[in-house]
């Protein structure tokens, strides 16, 4: 049986997140304002069937497909929200599940660090990030979610809510990780928005 780990619709990709995804995308690049759908399954190989269903049913473009042994992830996007929603419906029909079948998001870790020290900033900037650099003196918000795919929704809602800089967002593997930086007040607003976003997602609690 296919387990639906992540299923999340994003109404409008924010500029920084869209450009970040463009730097990491294996497929067709999204642009700011596109609607996006992120789906994660277990086992990983099952994601091929879901990708096929989404692409055959609609005009969405495939931005990401990552196939690991345990988990598989896909991202599709389109300027028309209706196309993206229909792609999601096609996927759910194929696996005979509903959106309520998805795994509920669990916040594994969150923290805000004020006034980052120069040495700390240098190390973070060298750790394979794909986004903007962190500068000394900035405040930093970090968030870790399980399943991983929900971290993209958190990043998008945080960018909507506050003037912050996206340093890193990793939506694959066992856990998703987000790093945002900015002025202290802006980071506090972004953190609230990110956590409220993932806490709003319904679903089935993990067996853990």
Token code pair at residue 72? 């598989």
| Model pTM above 0.85 | yes
The highest-level CATH class for domain 106-199 is alpha beta
Q: Does residue 128 carry a pLDDT above 80? A: no
Calculate mean pLDDT across residues 4-18: 98
Residue 35 and residue 77 in contact, taking contact as beta carbons nearer than 8 Å: yes
List the 106-113 sheet strands across, edge first: 106-113, 139-146, 176-182, 165-170
- Mean per-residue pLDDT over the chain, rounded: 96
- pLDDT value at 207 more than 70: no
- Mean pLDDT over 63-89 rounds to 97
SS3 for 151? Answer: helix
Which tokens sit at 187?
Answer: 């980071």
- Contact (CB, 8 A) for 4 and 97: yes
Q: 90 and 57 in contact (C-beta within 8 Å)?
A: yes
List the chain domain ranges: 3-101, 106-199
Predicted local confidence at residue 165, as pLDDT: 96
Average pLDDT over residues 30-36: 98
Looking at residue 25, its pLDDT comes to 82
CATH entry 3.30.70.1710 includes domain 3-101: yes
What mean pLDDT is predicted for residues 58-65?
97
Is 186:162 a contact under the CB 8 Å cutoff? yes
Q: How many CB atoms lie within 10 A of CB 160?
A: 14
Q: Check for a shared fold between 3-101 and 106-199.
A: yes
């Amino acid at each position: 049986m296919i387990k639906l780990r992540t299923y999340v619709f994003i109404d409008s990709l924010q500029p920084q997140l869209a450009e970040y995804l463009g730097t990491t995308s294996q497929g067709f690049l999204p642009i700011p304002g596109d609607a996006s759908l992120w789906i994660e399954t277990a086992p990983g190989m099952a994601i091929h069937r879901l990708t096929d269903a989404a692409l055959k049913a609609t005009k969405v473009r495939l931005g990401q497909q990552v196939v690991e042994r345990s988990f598989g992830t896909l991202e599709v996007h389109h300027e028309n929200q209706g196309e993206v929603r229909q792609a999601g419906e096609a996927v759910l029909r194929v696996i005979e599940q509903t959106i309520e079948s998805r795994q509920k998001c669990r916040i594994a870790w969150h923290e805000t660090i004020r006034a980052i020290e120069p040495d700390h900033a240098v190390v973070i900037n060298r750790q394979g990030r794909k986004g903007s650099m962190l500068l000394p003196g900035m405040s930093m918000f970090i968030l870790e979610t399980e399943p991983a795919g929900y971290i993209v929704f958190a990043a998008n809602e945080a960018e909507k809510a506050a003037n912050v800089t996206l340093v890193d967002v990793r939506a694959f593997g066992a856990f998703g990780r987000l790093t945002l930086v900015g002025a202290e007040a802006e980071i506090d607003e972004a953190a609230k928005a990110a956590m409220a976003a993932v806490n709003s997602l319904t679903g089935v609690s993990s067996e853990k």
